[in-house]
């Protein structure tokens, strides 16, 4: 009877674990549209729960028939100055070359397939920081959609 | 005495049935990669008119939301078109329209490549979440119209 009770307990725990993996929990998505210059355009503010955001998907496309370069960065959360890199909390995320480097990855022209980066290891965003997109300064704005999840 | 031994077995079988144990007669579900009932919708040759692909879940699925895991898009001509996914209610998402992909835009942005090259294929690690009780629609472009297939699952 004791063995039977343990089996029952195990099944109940298995069911509980399954429910903990309900889709959508902690998931987030954001987008920055037609980012046309080197400004930091806010995609999403820091997680309000103090959790760490992880990026699982980066979809990018130029808004013209010429590719546009972009960077994804994070920085101190300040409404008037999202992703403030001057506060010392900022960093480049994609590519992670360090602040001050030129944009390197290209958002493809809008007449070929969009670029979709879906890293096996999600990109970790420093806790308490916004996520921003820095666009192309050469007249080929980019549209970027990011998604991921937040976790402690 | 035999009946007393059968009681735990019957109870266990009832519990497994309650928990949804497949019992071997639902191999497709057991092999599913999505955490909820799957769905697929497709639209053909969509021009510059926002057009519904999937209704908000109703009936037995009422209360669930659509999660988008995959998008395939291609122009119907040799020249690329572009598209945007939007959500809303009413005729062709015309009420309470909100952009989904890309969420920050209100106009077509992502490419549906010309039909002489591979389509745009996007399979999200983190699925897109369609707002509850909202339909899913696609806006394409005139002349170089867009054919798309969108799939995902229902969840909470």
User: Which residue ranges make up each domain of chain A?
Assistant: 26-151
> Binning pLDDT at 50, 70 and 90, where does residue B26 land?
very low
Provide the pLDDT for residue A15. 43
> Binning pLDDT at 50, 70 and 90, where does residue B14 land?
low
Q: Of B19, B117, B126, which has the smallest distance from its Cβ to A112's Cβ?
A: B117
Q: Is A2 on the interface with B (CB under 8 A)?
A: no
CB contact under 8 A, A145 and B101: yes
Q: Which residues contact B147 (CB under 8 A, 6 or more apart)?
A: B42, B43, B44, B45, B46, B73, B74, B75, B76, B112
Tell me the CATH number of domain A26-151, given options 1.25.40, 1.10.1060, 2.60.120, 1.10.3470: 2.60.120
Provide the pLDDT for residue A40. 81
Closest to A61 (Cα-Cα) out of A105, A111, A109, A104: A109
CB B155 within 8 A of CB B69: no
Closest to B131 (Cα-Cα) out of B94, B99, B92: B99
Backbone angles phi, psi at B150, to 5 degrees: -125, 135
Interface with chain A: mutation pick from B63, B75, B101, B109, highest number of A CBs within 10 Å: B109
Q: Is the pLDDT of residue B25 over 90?
A: no
CB contact under 8 A, A122 and B125: yes
> Binning pLDDT at 50, 70 and 90, where does residue B2 land?
low
Q: Of B109, B113, B125, which has the smallest distance from its Cβ to A111's Cβ?
A: B113
CB contact under 8 A, A33 and B105: yes
- pTM for the whole structure: 0.77
Average pLDDT, chain B: 87
Q: Is the pLDDT of residue A24 over 80?
A: no
> Binning pLDDT at 50, 70 and 90, where does residue A21 land?
very low
């Amino acid at each position: 009877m004791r063995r039977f009770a343990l089996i029952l307990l195990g099944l109940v725990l298995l069911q509980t674990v399954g429910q903990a993996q309900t889709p959508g929990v902690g998931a987030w998505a954001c987008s920055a549209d037609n980012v046309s210059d080197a400004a930091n355009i806010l995609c999403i503010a820091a997680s309000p729960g103090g959790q760490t955001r992880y990026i699982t998907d980066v979809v990018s496309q130029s808004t013209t028939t010429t590719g546009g370069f972009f960077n994804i960065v994070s920085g101190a959360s300040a409404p008037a100055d999202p992703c403030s890199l001057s506060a010392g909390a900022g960093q480049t995320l994609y590519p992670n070359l360090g602040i001050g480097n030129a944009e390197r990855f290209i958002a493809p022209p809008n007449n070929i397939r969009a670029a979709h980066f879906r890293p096996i290891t999600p990109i970790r965003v420093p806790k308490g920081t916004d996520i921003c997109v820095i666009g192309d300064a050469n007249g080929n704005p980019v549209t970027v959609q990011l998604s991921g999840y937040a976790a402690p | 005495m035999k009946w007393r031994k059968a009681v735990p077995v019957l109870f266990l079988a009832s519990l497994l049935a309650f928990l949804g144990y497949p019992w071997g007669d639902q191999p497709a579900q057991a092999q599913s990669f999505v955490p909820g009932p799957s769905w697929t919708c497709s639209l053909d040759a969509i021009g510059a008119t926002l057009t519904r692909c999937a209704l908000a879940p109703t009936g037995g699925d009422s209360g669930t939301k659509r999660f988008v895991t995959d998008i395939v898009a291609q122009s119907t001509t040799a020249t690329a078109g572009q598209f945007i996914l939007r959500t809303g209610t009413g005729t062709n998402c015309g009420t309470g329209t909100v952009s989904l992909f890309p969420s920050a835009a209100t106009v077509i942005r992502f490419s549906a490549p010309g039909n002489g090259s591979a389509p745009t294929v996007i399979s999200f690690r983190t699925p897109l979440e369609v707002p509850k009780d909202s339909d899913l629609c696609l806006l394409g472009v005139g002349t170089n119209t867009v054919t798309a297939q969108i799939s995902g699952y229902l969840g909470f």
